[in-house]
Amino acid sequence: MRKKWLYKSIPPVETVNDLSKSININSHLATILLQRGVDTFDKAKTFFRPTLAQLHDPFLMKDMTAAVARLKSAIDNQEKILIYGDYDVDGTTAVALVYSYLKSFYPNCDFYIPDRYAEGYGVSEIGIRWAEENGFSLIIALDLGVKAIDAVTLASSKQIDFIICDHHLPGSSIPHAVAVLDPKREDCNYPFDELSGCGLGFKLMQAFARKHRNEEELHEYLDLVAVSIASDIVPVNDENRVLAYFGVKKLNKNPLPGLKALMEIAGIKTDLDISGIVFTLGPRINAAGRVAHAHAAVELLISKTEEEAFACAEKVNLKNDIRRELDLSITEEALAMIENNEELKNAKATVLFKSTWHKGVIGIVAARCVEKYYRPTVILTESNDKITGSARSVKDFDLYEAIYACSDLLEKFGGHKYAAGLTLDKSNLVAFQQRFEEVVSNSITEEMQTPVVEIDTIIEFDSMTAKFNNVLKQMAPFGPENQRPIFEAREVFVKNALSGFKDKHVRFLAAQYGSENVFNAVGFDMIEHYDRLASGDSFRMTFTLEENVYNGTTTLQLRIKDLIFN
C-alpha cells in the first residue's frame, strides 16, 4: 500500500542553532527536540534526565482525598478489600501492583479478574455477588468501572463500597462510588489525563503512601507500570514518560520475579524498550485472558519466588502459543472474506462477523485487518447468545465517536479514539454493519485513508555517528507523542549484499552519494522492492536508526519505513 510522506515543520534556523549550541548537539538532534517542545537548556535537562520528583501530586486528582480516607478506614477496621481489574495487560498489571503493595503490609485483601467469556468486560454482577459471598466491603476497581453505574448501585445495596480507578472516557453520568479517579472526568483538573489503568492504580497507592507510609516502597513496582504504558499504547510524554523511563530501567536491571521469568522464557537476552515490551511481554501477559482466564497472568505478576514465577510463566507462555495459532488462522479467514467480496473490498470500513471466531483474539485480528486495508475495522463473534466485538481505527479517525453514533443498536460499548469494544443483540447485526459503514463513509477523509510516514528531518549518512546515536538513545522511551524519530535520506543506493529472506523481507548495505558512511538496512514486508533495488537505481528512503546486536557486536542499522525510487 502506497504511503503518504508528511514532513514535520522545521523550526527556524536561528532557533535550531541556539539550542544546538546550548546543549552541544548537532542541528538534526536539536530539530527533533524542538519538534517535541524541548526549546531551552532547562527543558532539555528535564527531558534527558527525568526524576520521580517530576510526578504530579496525586492529591490534585478529583476524589483522591476521599479514596485514600476510605482505604485507610478499611485497613484500620480490618475490612476485606477486593482488587478488581480488567483481563488485559493494563488491568492485570494494575491488579498485580495494587494487590502486591497492599498485601505487603495488609493481609486482608484478595483480587478478582472477570472471566472474558462468562462475564465480559467491566464490573459484572457475578463479580459483585462473589464479593458479597466472600465478605468484602470495599472494591478497588482498576482499568474499568467509570461506566459501571448499575453495578456500583447493586454493590451499594449490599454494603460494598467502590473506589474506581479508570482512564476510559466517562459516560454522561458518573457512578455513585466513594471515589471515581479518572483524569478524563470533565470536573477533574489533574494536569495529565493520559495515565494507563495501572498508572492510576500507582497514583492511588502513591497518595496512600504519601499520607500513611513511605512512597519509595512503590518503586519496586515501576516495571509493572512501564509494561502497562507500553502495552496500552498510551502517550509516552509528561508523567508517563517519567514512569516509563524508571519502569523500563527497573525492568532491565532488577525486574519483579514474574516479569524476569517471562523474559527468560521468551528468550529475551538484550535490554527491552517500549517497542520490545509491546511485541514480547505484552502479548504473553494478554494471552492468559484471551484463551483462558487472566487470573493466571496476575498469579505470574505477583509471584514472590523465581521457582513460582517460572512455573506460572511456562503456563502463560503456552497460552500465548495457542493465541498465536488462533490469531493467524482467524486473520487468514477474515482477510479472505474481504478479498472474495467486492462490496467489502470497496467499503470505507470493515465489519466482519463469524459466530465461531475466538473472542480472545478478535482485537488482534482487527488490528491485522487495519494493517492490510487501512480503514476502521470491527471484528465480531458470538458469545453468551450475544454478538461481541473489538474495533480498531486508523490515524486521526475517532472510532469511539463512530461507534457512539450507532449506540442505539448496541447493548454496551466503550473504549478510546483508536480501540473499542462493543456488544449487541443478534437481531441488530445487519443494521449495525450498515450504520457503521454509513457513519464512517460520511466522516472519514481521504487523508485518513492513506497510511502516513511522518518524517522528522532529512539527514545525510555522514551525520549519523556513534555520538549522534548516543544522544538519540537518550530521547527514549519512545512511544506515542514521543515516537522514535523517522529520517529521510536522499540519493541512496544499494552498495552490495542485497538479499531477500523469509520470502517477505529485504536487507542490504546502503550507501549515499556524497557520504562515506554505509549502513546495514532492513525492510520488513518489502520484498516487492527487491527487483528495483537490484537494478542499481538510487532512491529516497525513510527509516529509523537502531542498534543491531549480533554475536556480542553492536552496529547501527537502518530500519526502512518506505522507499521511493528516483
Please report the pLDDT score of residue 289 as a whole number.
84
Q: If you average pLDDT over residues 544-549, what whole number do you get?
A: 92
- Tell whether 248 and 372 lie within a shared domain: no
Please report the pLDDT score of residue 475 as a whole number.
96
Map residue 346 onto helix, strand or coil.
Answer: coil
What is the rounded distance in angstroms from the CA atom of residue 563 to the CA atom of residue 535? 14
| Helix H or strand E encompassing 164 | strand 161-165
Q: If you average pLDDT over residues 345-353, what whole number do you get?
A: 96
Residue 262 half-sphere exposure toward CB, CA atoms < 13 A: 37
Q: Would you give the DSSP letter of residue 512?
A: E
- Residue pair 380/403 in contact by the 8 Å Cβ criterion: no
Please report the pLDDT score of residue 169 as a whole number.
87
**Alpha-carbon separation of residue 66 from 26, 70, 177, 219 (angstroms):** 50, 6, 10, 24
- Tell how strand 419-424 and strand 386-392 pair up: antiparallel
> 89: buried, middle or exposed (CB in 10 Å: 19+, 13-18, 0-12)?
buried
Please report the pLDDT score of residue 101 as a whole number.
98
- Tell whether 192 and 86 lie within a shared domain: yes
- Tell whether 418 and 524 lie within a shared domain: no
Count the neighbouring beta carbons within 10 Å of the beta carbon of residue 59. Answer: 15
Q: If you average pLDDT over residues 331-347, what whole number do you get?
A: 96
> 24: buried, middle or exposed (CB in 10 Å: 19+, 13-18, 0-12)?
exposed
pLDDT > 90? residue 231: yes
For residue 557, the domain's CATH number is: 2.40.50.460
Residue 53 belongs to some domain of the structure: no
Map residue 377 onto helix, strand or coil.
Answer: strand
Residue 281 belongs to some domain of the structure: yes
- Residue pair 90/196 in contact by the 8 Å Cβ criterion: yes
For residue 346, the domain's CATH number is: 3.10.310.30
- Residue pair 96/301 in contact by the 8 Å Cβ criterion: yes
Residue 44 belongs to some domain of the structure: no
Last residue of a domain, one of 429, 449, 469: 449
- Tell whether 254 and 395 lie within a shared domain: no
Please report the pLDDT score of residue 177 as a whole number.
98
Residue 480 belongs to some domain of the structure: yes
Please report the pLDDT score of residue 376 as a whole number.
97
Q: If you average pLDDT over residues 348-357, what whole number do you get?
A: 97
pLDDT > 90? residue 96: yes
What is the rounded distance in angstroms from the CA atom of residue 453 to the CA atom of residue 541? 11
- Tell whether 389 and 519 lie within a shared domain: no
Please report the pLDDT score of residue 400 as a whole number.
93
pLDDT > 90? residue 386: yes
In sequence order, the β-bridge partners of residue 383 are 386
Interior angle at CA 508, CA 505 and CA 511, nearest 5: 140
pLDDT > 90? residue 16: yes
Type of residue numbered 370: V
What percent of the chain clears pLDDT 70, i.e. is strictly above it?
100
- Residue pair 148/141 in contact by the 8 Å Cβ criterion: yes
Return the minimum-mean-pLDDT range out of 60-74, 250-264, 287-301, 502-516.
Answer: 287-301
Which pLDDT tens digit goes with each residue over 166-178? 999 898 999 999 9
Q: 542: Cβ–Cβ under 8 A, 6 or more apart, which residues?
A: 5, 453, 455, 486, 487, 488, 560, 561, 562, 563
Residue 459 belongs to some domain of the structure: yes
Q: 470: Cβ–Cβ under 8 A, 6 or more apart, which residues?
A: none
Last residue of a domain, one of 317, 349, 370: 317
Residue 45 belongs to some domain of the structure: no
Q: 342: Cβ–Cβ under 8 A, 6 or more apart, which residues?
A: none
What does pLDDT average to over the chain?
Answer: 95
Domain count, the chain: 3
State the pLDDT confidence band at 551, using cuts at 50, 70 and 90.
Answer: confident
State the pLDDT confidence band at 288, using cuts at 50, 70 and 90.
Answer: confident
Residue 30 belongs to some domain of the structure: no
pLDDT > 80? residue 1: no
State the pLDDT confidence band at 418, using cuts at 50, 70 and 90.
Answer: confident
Which pLDDT tens digit goes with each residue over 479-532? 999 999 999 999 999 999 999 999 999 999 999 999 999 999 999 999 999 999
Residue 326 belongs to some domain of the structure: no
Angle at which helix 89-103 crosses helix 222-231, to 10 degrees, equals: 170
Which residues constitute the domain of residue 170? Answer: 58-317
- Tell whether 73 and 116 lie within a shared domain: yes
- Tell whether 285 and 433 lie within a shared domain: no
- Residue pair 101/80 in contact by the 8 Å Cβ criterion: no
pLDDT > 90? residue 290: no
What is the rounded distance in angstroms from the CA atom of residue 295 to the CA atom of residue 319? 13
In sequence order, the β-bridge partners of residue 82 are 110, 139
- Tell whether 137 and 245 lie within a shared domain: yes
Q: 497: Cβ–Cβ under 8 A, 6 or more apart, which residues?
A: 507, 508, 509, 520
- Tell whether 291 and 313 lie within a shared domain: yes
Last residue of a domain, one of 449, 479, 500: 449
Q: If you average pLDDT over residues 139-146, what whole number do you get?
A: 97
- Tell whether 174 and 89 lie within a shared domain: yes
- Tell whether 143 and 102 lie within a shared domain: yes
Q: In what order do the strands lie in the sheet with 350-353?
A: 350-353, 377-383, 386-392, 419-424, 412-415
For residue 116, the domain's CATH number is: 3.90.1640.30
Q: If you average pLDDT over residues 222-246, what whole number do you get?
A: 96
**Alpha-carbon separation of residue 344 from 201, 329, 375 (angstroms):** 42, 20, 11
Please report the pLDDT score of residue 270 as a whole number.
87
Please report the pLDDT score of residue 255 as a whole number.
98
- Tell whether 408 and 513 lie within a shared domain: no
Please report the pLDDT score of residue 511 as a whole number.
98
